[in-house]
Structure 1
Amino acid sequence: MSDLEQNTTMPMVGKSFAGAPFEGEWPALTTVRIMTGAKIPEGCDAVIMQENTSVKGDNITFLSLVSKPT
């Protein structure tokens, strides 16, 4: 998580839906798109609201600073 800064772009390796959680391999420096009501994948250390991102294909760019939840 400490690697994330404003305007960082990372590839999306999968999605987690309600009833269909993400269960694939989650390499470092990649993202998983989590839909409302979906299970948060194990190992997740930050959740960023969709409104604070830009999605282009399979790449997600963070439009605001990311801080670790307390």
Structure 2
Amino acid sequence: MPRMVKKTVVFNMEDPDQILLHEHANERKNFSGYVKRLIQRDREGGYSVAPVKISSVENRAINVKSFI
């Protein structure tokens, strides 16, 4: 087996979801290391569901007395 193996990731620039993934990937200085960490996390049983980013939060009053 060769000392180094190169794998290619393809992003479909006509798919809005993949465009966002591509933009996120481009923010990384070390894309190869980033992908390797994702693979390692997956092997170790990391996120079973992708985390959700909340874009906005409503201001709500919370009655803390009901929690005590």
* TM-score for both structures, normalised by structure 1: 0.23
Q: Which has the higher strand share?
A: 1
Higher normalized contact order (CA 8 Å, seq sep 6+, divided by chain length) = 1
* TM-score for both structures, normalised by structure 2: 0.23
Q: Which has the higher helix share?
A: 2
